[in-house]
């Protein structure tokens, strides 16, 4: 019963740019979901997807990808590789990669810089993971095509969800000039 209120609070904090506090809110939401469903339940996937989408929204792409991969792993382990519950995390992963590809701030990390490299090797500071644009493109496209395949294969998938996934695939190709 607390989760909808927390999510509104988190949205407000995010709009105000108070990301550390918003992240604390999501950690609490995750703790609630884990307590309710267990550590390895596919029922955690929607919560992980929301957190992954939030990370993407605030530009924390590596954390978003890790969170979304965890959601995908939980659903695959619990319900199989063709589960319709994979559509959400897969499309969120593609959206994360697409947004990172067009984010001008990411160019900062794409070129080698000796001074910046030594800065990130200080103890206590993590080295930002540099993911090539080719890897992001490939992973995003695979995720969307897999989501489309799952949506098309299921008779019980709503036409709205199928159209949404197909639109995202079209947007993906259009943004790449294909």
Q: Which residues of the chain have pLDDT under 70?
A: 106-131
Q: State the Cα–Cα distance between residues 165 and 157, nearest whole angstrom.
A: 11
Q: State the Cα–Cα distance between residues 8 and 3, nearest whole angstrom.
A: 9
DSSP for 65-126, written as a single string: HHHHHHHHHHHHHHH-TT-GGGHHHHHHHHHHHHHHHH-GGGHHHHS--HHHHHHTTSTT-P
pLDDT at res. 106: 66
pLDDT at res. 67: 92
pLDDT at res. 178: 83
Q: 23: how many CB neighbours lie within 10 A of its CB? A: 19
Q: State the Cα–Cα distance between residues 95 and 35, nearest whole angstrom.
A: 29
């Amino acid at each position: 019963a607390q989760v909808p209120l927390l999510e509104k609070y988190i949205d407000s904090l995010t709009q105000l740019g108070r990301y550390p506090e918003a992240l604390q809110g999501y950690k609490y939401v995750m703790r609630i979901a884990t307590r309710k469903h267990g550590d390895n339940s596919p029922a955690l996937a929607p919560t992980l997807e929301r957190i992954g989408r939030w990370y993407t929204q605030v530009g924390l792409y590596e954390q978003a990808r890790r969170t979304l991969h965890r959601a995908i792993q939980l659903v695959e382990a619990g319900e199989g590789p063709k589960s319709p519950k994979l559509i959400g995390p897969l499309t969120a992963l593609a959206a994360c990669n697409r947004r990172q590809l067009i984010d001008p701030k990411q160019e900062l990390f794409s070129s080698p810089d000796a001074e910046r490299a030594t800065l990130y090797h200080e103890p206590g500071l993590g080295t930002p993971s540099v993911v090539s644009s080719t890897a992001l493109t490939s992973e995003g496209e695979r995720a969307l095509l897999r989501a489309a395949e799952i949506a098309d294969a299921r008779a019980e998938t709503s036409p709205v969800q199928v159209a949404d996934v197909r639109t995202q695939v079209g947007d993906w190709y259009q943004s790449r000039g294909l």
